[in-house]
Structure 1
Amino acid sequence: MTAPDPYPVRVAPGGFKELGPINWVAAKLGARGIRAPRFSLFNVLGRHRLLFWAWLPLSGYLLYAGKLPRRDAEIVILRVGHLRGCEYELQQHRRLARSRGLDADTQVRIFTGPDADGLSDRERTLITATDEFVVTRGVSGQTWQRLATHLSTTQLIEFCMLAAQYDGLAATITTLGVPLDFPD
């Protein structure tokens, strides 16, 4: 007898009928972008046709066009995924992070935490601020001061929005039981 899945699929990924033609095309294009047969996140969130299009621009901006360096954004996203135990988020972003200069060893250091050997002061500060934001729902004055030595005002605002977006997304993915896109 196998143990029950701790995160069962609660909302199954939709196909053409459930997504409608526009969201179905978006999901297919997203799958092509991640080089997978299906982009489960889009196939699940796309079932709420209008909300999907409200969420997508913010998510895309934070991931691809934000003011934070893409490497910094991936540090935050990987740390949020780790803290929330969201394998889907980690599976997606381990791959993307490699393309943004975060090799496997660096990723292990991110998962180990701010005290890991080999992290730069910037990386330690981003990880500490992410930990505080996710766990305590805020960032202490001392950590904020350190973060402000590395980030501009617009980047500080974006850090908060990025951490909040991926924390909420991790909770949504886990709660809905979004299936993994890759077998590994």
Structure 2
Amino acid sequence: MSAPARIPPGGFRELGPINWAIAKLGARGIRAPRFSLFNVLGRHRLLFPVWLPLSGYLLYAGKLSRRDAETVILRVGHLRECEYELQQHRRLARSRGLDAQFQARIFEGPDAEGLSDRERVLITATDEFVVTRGVSPQTWQALAGHLSTQQLIEFCFLAAQYDGLAATITTLAVPLDFPD
């Protein structure tokens, strides 16, 4: 059983018309009656619309492939034990070609059988970034062998974004959108 929400999801009055409309569109996008994350974060009427473009860029339009981005996001969610983040991104990852078997490899870690060198180094770099708040020179060199300069910068932003988001979700006890 999850903890009660520290800040309950808001409706029209708490979110205001713009954030409410964004939350409604988001809920439609995830095929749920409510997008709890947006209905909670949207209660900060100024911060939410500032945060959203960066988050959207990293998730939908960044320089990393969607497969690489989901690999990093799923690993962060696993490391932070953030069921909300995992629930959302298990579904999204499936739509981006990361089946349940591949997701299990991500959760197992960089030594899992069947991972490519690129996938191993992405998972290793994510582990280091989240756990030590940095990436070792050896891992960075390996990562740089697979990613461009822009992708390396984006990797750092993506890992930091989802690490911070997992901490925020957990701290606020954001309710699951799909409680089953």
TM-score range for the pair, normalised by the shorter chain length: over 0.9
Q: CA RMSD in A?
A: 0.8
Equivalent residue for 1:115, pick from 99, 104, 111: 111
Equivalent residue for 1:68, pick from 52, 64, 67: 64
Question: Structure 2 CA distance, aligned partners of 1:8 and 1:76?
Answer: 28
Which residue of 2 is the match for residue 159 of structure 1? 155
Question: Structure 2 CA distance, aligned partners of 1:12 and 1:183?
Answer: 15
Equivalent residue for 1:17, pick from 4, 13, 16: 13
Question: Structure 1 CA distance, aligned partners of 2:3 and 2:52?
Answer: 24
> Is the 1:39–1:181 contact (alpha carbons within 8 Å) kept by the matching residues of 2?
yes
Map Cα deviations across residues 25-67 of structure 1 (whole Å, 9 max, x no partner).
Answer: 1000000000000000000000000000110000000000000
> Is the 1:7–1:174 contact (alpha carbons within 8 Å) kept by the matching residues of 2?
no
Which residue of 1 is the match for residue 171 of structure 2? 175
Question: Structure 2 CA distance, aligned partners of 1:110 and 1:6?
Answer: 24
TM-score between both structures, scaled by the size of structure 1: 0.96
Work out the percentage of aligned pairs sharing the same amino acid.
86
Which residue of 1 is the match for residue 139 of structure 2? 143
* Gaps in structure 1 of 5+ consecutive residues: none
1:30 aligns with 2:26: yes
> Where has structure 1 moved over 4 Å in runs of 4 or more?
none
Amino acid at match of 2:144: A
1:46 aligns with 2:47: no
Equivalent residue for 2:79, pick from 80, 83, 95: 83
Q: In structure 2, the residue corresponding to 1:49 is in which secondary structure?
A: coil
Question: Structure 1 CA distance, aligned partners of 2:107 and 2:46?
Answer: 35
Question: Structure 1 CA distance, aligned partners of 2:147 and 2:32?
Answer: 34
Q: In structure 1, the residue corresponding to 2:122 is in which secondary structure?
A: helix
Map Cα deviations across residues 134-167 of structure 1 (whole Å, 9 max, x no partner).
Answer: 0000000000000001100000000000000000
TM-score between both structures, scaled by the size of structure 2: 0.98
* Gaps in structure 2 of 5+ consecutive residues: none
